A and B are shown apart, each in its own frame.
Chain A
Amino acid sequence: MLDFLTNDLLQLSDSAVRFAIPLLLACLAGLYSERAGIFDIGLEGKMLVAAFAGGAFSAFAGMSVADGGWGMGGWAVWVGLGAAIFASIMLSMIHAFASITLRGNQLISGVAINFFAAGITVLVGQYWFKMGGQTPQLRGGQRFEPITLPFAEALRDVPVIGSIYYDLISGHNIIVYLGFLIVALTWWILFRTRFGLRMRAVGENPGAVDTAGISVVKLRYSALIITGILCGLAGAYLSLGTAAAGFGKDMTAGRGFIALAALIFAKWKPIPAMWATLLFGMLEAIGSKYQTLDLGIIVLPGQFMQALPYILTVVILAGFVGKAIPPKAGGEPYIKER
């Protein structure tokens, strides 16, 4: 039993963190957008485009000049990250333009972004690399390497705390730590700053915000820029921070939608969003580690384990978590004069 706790549980948590990070970043991205009153089902598409831009630009930047690259060595991954964030912001701005300025239907704009992303990534990827939409395998400075935190090696042999520190907390790449930092930052912005207050207000009652002399349009655009940045990080994590080491067709695999479910589960709050995505990550980790789970009384088959995150999504959306009230003005374009 003790062995299970120290060993298996640690491994599971470690794996859960890695599974959860892209969900967490996408979930927080959705949080900014929906809190400002813009539904965003295009998270998936933004992540996908970011993953592609990250993989492609990191590949170009890391290739030697002789091979037609830019020969930037260890800086390549940062070029990739920058490109990922930029690409994601661009898509986010298209969504903003369609749903804020043109007052279009936000769901339709989101769906369009998802389809656009699925197609454009493979098309451009094939044109650039001729590898069926994949990017070349990234190596060394083209990827985010795991970071060993200070004293991790020294504390490794300390019982319990040492192994938790070494196995679970240390040894992830920078985006993982950034992700958790952003949770705290988001809480602070949302509940402790003027911008956060106004952003929440604009999602509840844009009319009131407007009456107070604050620009609804400007606030919503700023929120969607943040959404773009966070989706960019989530996508960059997939192509630059995992063992995929590059972009592959449709590599987001529905994570954007799971993130939306987690957002509802978390009732549009940052700290619960972290727990919700960690829960999804844990389920995925359990499904991967134990193909069949022997509970003593019954044996759960592998198919059930793999379906768990989706079953949970349905259960959550069916209202199991109590009343989840979305921001009141969500999905409604704001028209100044009626």
Chain B
Amino acid sequence: MQLLKTLIATTALVGAATFASAQANPAVIFDLGGKFDKSFNEMSYTGAERFKEETGIEYREFELQSDAQREQALRRFAQAGNNPVVVAGFSNATAMATVAPDFPDTDFVIIDMVVDAPNVRSVIFAEHEGSYLVGVLAAMASESGTVSFVGGMDIPLIRKFQCGYTQGAKAANPDITVLATMTGTDGSAWNNPVKGGELTMSQIQNGSDVVFAAAGGTGRGVLQAAADAGIYAIGVDANQNYMQPGTMLTSMLKRVDVAVFNAFNDVNNDEFTAGIQVMGLAEDGVGWALDEFNEGLITDEMKAAVEEARAKIISGEIVVADYMADNSCPVE
């Protein structure tokens, strides 16, 4: 009898909790590389914080420590009645595809990957378009005729950055050489600044004078090595211009924060839609950063060129090839 009472009480409690959170009880999961990677994950955090500030609604968060936790983390949040559950990172697709059907009443959002389920919103960014723009800037800023790219983990998504960057650089200067190196093939490649620095030094020795880092926390070492050698660096995801003032040419912005904020907000306003959402240049989902730290490095000519490229991509006059469309890049 006692047991039954407890059971009923618990059920009532859970029911109450679910009811109370009918509006929004958001949760966000940060991928490997860590919440404060000054890049991708930190952008999710910024978006979640903005939501908390504007609405006063608290959110729950979890930082993944290993691949094994992906499914568990999603399931936990869904079971606890969190809605929406937002997770950033391509590696979570399998876990999402497994968990989402089990919780049809929960809204899920995955960033950087497409999961086809009626309650999942897949936000993907047109990184190749943003990378194209910083590629144009890199080629125009380079005096040596060689620019370079340091990627994090060797996956199609990062190749997409690389491919867009190369296309932009070649468009601005057809004779330019683009060197490219990936940090590694597992999750630790997102958080290995020592190696990032070493790869950059190697590229500098081979003549590069502008380096673009699309490598999460590893980028910290890339930007530092570039600053040490006095060459330009380009940040990624967040505006990283402040990190090494004077040698940061620009940053390729990827507004993960907007995606997270929108997800939280849409559920809060009961406007959530599932399906694929593409955030490109036209939607201001990607772009390039200009602020007080790099305005001295960007000449009017560069600014004009990059704005022209931007307008042409939006109008469709320039089509930037997407590496992930067929896993190949038209330029080397």
Contact = CB atoms under 8 A, between A and B. Distances in A.
Interface of A: 11, 15, 18-19, 131-134, 137, 238, 242-246, 248-251, 253, 285, 288-289, 291, 302-303, 306
Contact of B182 (A243, A250, A291): A291
A242 B225 CA distance: 9
Contact of A243 (B37, B154, B191, B228): B228
Most buried by B among A131, A132, A238, A253: A132
B198 A243 contact: yes
B34 interface: yes
B224 interface: yes
Given A243-B224, A244-B194, A251-B194, 14 more contacts: A11-B205, A15-B201, A18-B198, A132-B36, A243-B225, A244-B193, A244-B196, A244-B221, A246-B220, A249-B191, A288-B198, A288-B202, A302-B154, A302-B185
B202 A11 contact: yes
Contact of A249 (B34, B154, B184): B34
B166 interface: no
Nearest to A51: B194
A132 B191 contact: no
- What are the 5 tightest A-B residue pairs by CB atom distance, in nearest-first order? A243-B197, A132-B36, A244-B193, A243-B225, A243-B221
Interface string B38-63: 00000000000000000000000001
Contacts of B36: 131-134
Contacts of A18: 198
Given A132-B34, A248-B191, A291-B182, A19 B198 contact: yes
A242 B221 contact: yes
Given A11-B205, A253-B188, A302-B154, A248 B193 contact: yes
Contact of B194 (A131, A133, A243, A302): A243
Interface residues of B, number: 33
Contacts of B221: 242-245
B91 interface: no
A288 B224 contact: no
23 contacts: A11-B202, A11-B205, A11-B206, A134-B34, A134-B36, A238-B194, A242-B194, A242-B197, A243-B197, A243-B198, A243-B222, A244-B197, A245-B193, A246-B220, A248-B193, A253-B188, A253-B192, A253-B194, A288-B195, A288-B198, A288-B199, A288-B202, A302-B154
B243 interface: yes
Nearest to A12: B202
Nearest to B189: A306
Contact of B198 (A15, A131, A248, A250): A15
B208 interface: no
A132 B243 CA distance: 17
A281 B230 CA distance: 26
Contacts, number: 81
B181 interface: yes
Interface residues of B, dominant DSSP: helix
B194 A250 contact: no
B83 interface: no
Contacts of B191: 248-250
Interface of B: 34-37, 63, 154, 181-182, 184-185, 188, 191-202, 205-206, 217, 220-222, 224-225, 228, 243
Nearest to B63: A132
Contacts of A19: 198
A244 B200 CA distance: 12
Contact of B185 (A246, A253, A306): A306
Contacts of A131: 36
Contacts of A242: 193-194, 197-198, 221
A97 B99 CA distance: 48
Nearest to B186: A306
Contacts of B201: 15, 243
B184 to A, nearest CB: 6
A131 B220 CA distance: 14
Nearest to B35: A132
Contacts of B198: 15, 18-19, 242-243, 285, 288
Contacts of A249: 34, 191
B20 to A, nearest CB: 30
Nearest to B191: A248
A109 to B, nearest CB: 24
A90 B180 CA distance: 43
A335 B221 CA distance: 49
A249 B216 CA distance: 13
Contacts of B196: 243-244
A306 B184 contact: yes
Contact of B202 (A132, A289, A306): A289
Contacts of A132: 34-37, 63
A131 B37 CA distance: 9
Contacts of A243: 193-194, 196-198, 200-201, 221-222, 224-225, 228
Nearest to B184: A306
Contacts of B192: 251, 253
B32 to A, nearest CB: 10
A132 B33 CA distance: 10
A289 B37 CA distance: 25
A18 B199 CA distance: 12
B189 to A, nearest CB: 9
A252 to B, nearest CB: 9
B73 to A, nearest CB: 17
Chain A CB count within 10 A is highest, among B194, B198, B202, for B194
B159 to A, nearest CB: 12
B224 to A, nearest CB: 4
A288 B205 CA distance: 13
